[in-house]
């Protein structure tokens, strides 16, 4: 049951084959047994069980709220959840209890979803899950064998999402399969008056059709995504995927997004600037951590922020302030905005030329082992991690990671599809077709519970080994 798709679970709940409370308990038990992974900052055992009980009552009356009723969900700890601690994994917000729900959280609750807890992230999301600013939904999805969807900027409300880069952040959806992502998207998307950057047009949730006629499809392969450092494994997987589309009858062509190589630098300038601005509110006065230093307001600010933020955050604030200085603004910030426009235009041109979807790798390699991971500093690491995902954020385009194969080490590897603005239906339709061809194996969670981190032998999938 814990490996089933959202739809399957939903059907099981409806048919009474499993109850919401049983499901909830199983999830909570799995969370406990995988505690060493430190995936959760806050686990909401009592509250979740209560929600599950309510859901059960609704099912017994034959009145579930929808397909998400009783479904266990987890939310990254940079989304506000009313009455629950929201920390952004930072000392600055330790003990901060949100007084309101983020719009996306509210929507899930209104549908009867059961909130298991708040998941961990890099401090202030400077490199992690559940929201996507530079790839933080798609990257982990690729490394963990999940579907990670980054919707078009403006499709889903950011109200209540503690921002990293306001002009690039979107709530991201992580699920086991593409269908599930479509379901969740259906319950989250749409205009929110509390978020002025959401589109006005009304959104209609959709069912994904079976794609039968591939011949009408044009897949673009951007040559710049053959980036330095791309593992040969992933290159092979990417090629195979392109061939798959070709043999199914699709038009597969090489395209160029010439400004791709500037995107990381551009991203870093804009990100730092917005971060510096967004972090300015953490002064210890209204909420959050406040230092004991009270000689003067200024000294209190300084001490609070030094104690509350880690090095990465402070580093970005300092760089951001530098870029925003009057004498630097033109050369850094404005310049980066212009480059951003060029990057976005690359995509516009390609899509205008008849390409429907772009196919690229999501990451440069499979997940790096922990010992290697901790060697590099955050800036280098994120520079490498985001290189393939972050242009979509610059351009505001929808993108999705579809788990594709296992590496030689037996770790998941995914591929990314990038679509046109607000054309999630088309994007997910193609992604789903691909998912069906690939038949990526299900994750064996019981094996993960073992404390030793030996590489586990999985069943290799037929087409992509």
- Tell me whether residue 328 or residue 461 sits nearer to other proteins (CB atom): 328
Beta-carbon neighbour count of residue 131 at 10 Å? 24
Nearer to other proteins, 100 or 206 (CB): 100
Tell me the CB-side half-sphere exposure of residue 14, using CA atoms within 13 A: 13
Which letter does DSSP use for residue 174 in this model?
Answer: E
Q: What does the per-residue mask of binding to other proteins show for 377-416, with x meaning CB under 8 A?
A: ----------------------------------------
Q: In angstroms, give the least distance from the CB of 377 to other proteins.
A: 26
Q: Which is nearer to other proteins, 44 or 271 (CB)?
A: 271
| Identity of the residue, 270 or 400, whose beta carbon is nearer to other proteins in the bound complex | 270
Give me 461's structure tokens: 């999938």
What are the φ/ψ torsions at residue 256 (nearest 5 degrees)?
-125, 135
- Which of 417, 405, 401 shows the shortest CA–CA distance to 463? 405
Of 100 and 262, nearer to other proteins (C-beta) is 100
Among residues 236, 280, 318, 447, the one that binds other proteins under rule CB under 8 A: 280
CA–chain centroid gap for 329, Å, is: 30
Pick from 17, 29, 246, 329 the residue near other proteins by CB under 8 A.
329
Over the range 97-110, which residues count as b (16 or more CB within 10 Å of their CB) and which as e? ebeebbbbbbbbbe
Within 10 Å of residue 88's Cβ, how many Cβ atoms? 26
194 binds other proteins (CB under 8 A): yes
Nearest approach in angstroms of CB 161 to other proteins is 6
- The binding track of 60-89 with respect to other proteins, each residue x by CB under 8 A or -, is -------------------xx-----x-x-
Binding of other proteins at residue 267 (CB under 8 A)? no
Task: Give the residue, chosen from 267, 301, 309, 422, that forms a contact with other proteins under the rule CB under 8 A.
Answer: 301
Distances (CA, A) of 217 to 77, 354, 371, 382, 416: 39, 9, 43, 33, 16
d(CA 148, CA 401): 5
Phi-psi sector, 80: left (phi>0), alpha (psi -120 to 50), beta = beta
Q: How far is the CB of 157 from other proteins (least distance, A)?
A: 9
| CA–CA separation, 264 and 170 (whole Å) | 18
Instruction: Pick the binder of other proteins from 174, 185, 242, 273 (CB under 8 A).
Output: 273
Question: Does 94 engage in binding with other proteins (CB under 8 A)?
Answer: no
Contact 83, 98 (CB under 8 A): yes
Closer CB to other proteins, 200 or 465, in the complex: 200
Q: Give the helix ranges, DSSP H, for 84-165.
A: 103-110, 138-144
Residue of the chain from 15, 36, 61, 196 that contacts other proteins (CB under 8 A):
196
CB of 287 to other proteins, least distance (A): 6
Residue 369 is given by DSSP the state: P
* Best CA proximity match to 408, nearest among 148, 225, 234: 234
373 binds other proteins (CB under 8 A): no
Q: Which of residues 149-178 bind other proteins (CB under 8 A)?
A: 158-163, 165-167
Instruction: Please report how close the Cβ of residue 142 comes to other proteins at its closest, in angstroms.
Output: 27
Q: CA-to-CA distance for 189 and 198, rounded, in angstroms?
A: 9
- Residue pair 160/101 in contact (Cβ under 8 Å)? The answer is yes
* Least distance from other proteins to the Cβ atom of residue 120, Å: 17
Of 218 and 321, nearer to other proteins (C-beta) is 321
Instruction: Sort 118 into a burial class: Cβ within 10 Å, 0-12 / 13-18 / 19+.
Output: buried
Total residues contacting other proteins by CB under 8 A comes to 42
Looking at 110-118, 193-201, 236-244, 359-367, which segment touches other proteins (CB under 8 A)? 193-201
CB of 165 to other proteins, least distance (A): 8
Q: How far is the CB of 188 from other proteins (least distance, A)?
A: 16
Contact track, other proteins, 97-136, x by CB under 8 A: -xxx-x----------------------------------
In the bound state with other proteins, the residue whose beta carbon lies nearer, of 178 and 300, is 300
Check binding of 287 to other proteins (CB under 8 A): yes
Pair 408, 233: CB distance under 8 Å: yes
Question: Position of tokens 């194969």?
Answer: 405
Backbone angles phi, psi at 122, to 5 degrees: -65, 150
440 binds other proteins (CB under 8 A): no
Binding site for other proteins (CB under 8 A): 79-80, 86, 88, 93, 98-100, 102, 158-163, 165-167, 193-197, 273-274, 277, 279-281, 283, 285-287, 297-298, 301, 321, 324-326, 329, 333
């Amino acid at each position: 049951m814990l490996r089933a798709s959202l739809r399957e679970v939903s059907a099981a709940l409806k048919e009474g084959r499993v109850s919401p409370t049983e499901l909830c308990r199983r999830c909570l038990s799995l969370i406990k047994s995988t505690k060493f992974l430190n995936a959760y900052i806050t686990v909401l055992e009592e509250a979740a069980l209560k929600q599950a009980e309510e859901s059960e009552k609704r099912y017994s009356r034959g009145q579930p709220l929808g397909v998400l009723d009783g479904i266990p969900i987890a939310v990254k700890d940079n989304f506000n959840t009313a009455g629950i601690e929201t920390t952004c994994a930072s000392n600055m917000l330790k003990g901060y209890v949100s007084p309101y729900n983020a719009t996306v959280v509210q929507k899930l609750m209104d549908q009867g979803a059961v909130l298991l807890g708040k998941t961990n992230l890099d401090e202030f999301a400077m490199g992690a899950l559940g929201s996507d600013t530079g790839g933080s939904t798609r990257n982990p999805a690729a490394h963990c064998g999940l579907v990670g969807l980054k919707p078009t900027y403006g499709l889903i409300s950011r109200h209540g999402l503690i921002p990293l880069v306001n002009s690039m952040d979107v709530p991201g959806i992580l699920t086991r399969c593409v269908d599930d992502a479509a379901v969740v998207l259906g319950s989250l998307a749409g205009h929110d008056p509390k978020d002025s950057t959401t589109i006005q047009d009304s959104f209609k949730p959709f069912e994904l059709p079976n794609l039968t006629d591939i011949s009408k499809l044009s897949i673009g392969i951007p040559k710049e995504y053959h980036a330095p450092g791309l593992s040969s494994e992933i290159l092979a997987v990417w090629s195979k995927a392109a061939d798959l589309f070709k043999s199914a009858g699709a038009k597969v062509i090489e395209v160029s997004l010439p400004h791709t190589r500037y995107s990381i630098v551009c991203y870093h300038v804009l990100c730092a600037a917005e971060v510096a601005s967004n972090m300015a509110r953490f002064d210890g006065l209204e909420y959050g951590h406040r230092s004991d230093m009270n000689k003067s307001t200024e000294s209190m600010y300084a001490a609070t922020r030094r104690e509350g933020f880690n090095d990465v955050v402070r580093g970005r604030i300092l760089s951001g302030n530098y870029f925003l200085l009057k004498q630097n603004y033109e050369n850094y910030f404005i310049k980066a905005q212009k480059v951003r426009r060029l990057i976005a235009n690359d995509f516009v041109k390609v899509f205008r030329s008849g390409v429907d979807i772009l196919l690229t790798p999501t990451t440069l390699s499979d997940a790096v082992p922990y010992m290697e991971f901790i060697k590099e500093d955050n800036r280098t690491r994120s520079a490498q991690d985001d290189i393939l995902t972050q242009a979509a954020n610059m351009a505001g385009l929808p993108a999705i990671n579809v788990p594709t194969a296992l590496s030689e080490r037996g770790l998941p590897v995914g591929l990314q599809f990038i679509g046109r603005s607000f054309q999630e239906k088309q994007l997910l339709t193609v992604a789903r077709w691909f998912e069906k061809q690939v038949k990526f194996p299900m994750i064996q969670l019981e094996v993960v519970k073992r404390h030793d981190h030996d590489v586990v032998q999985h069943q290799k999938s037929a087409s992509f080994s």
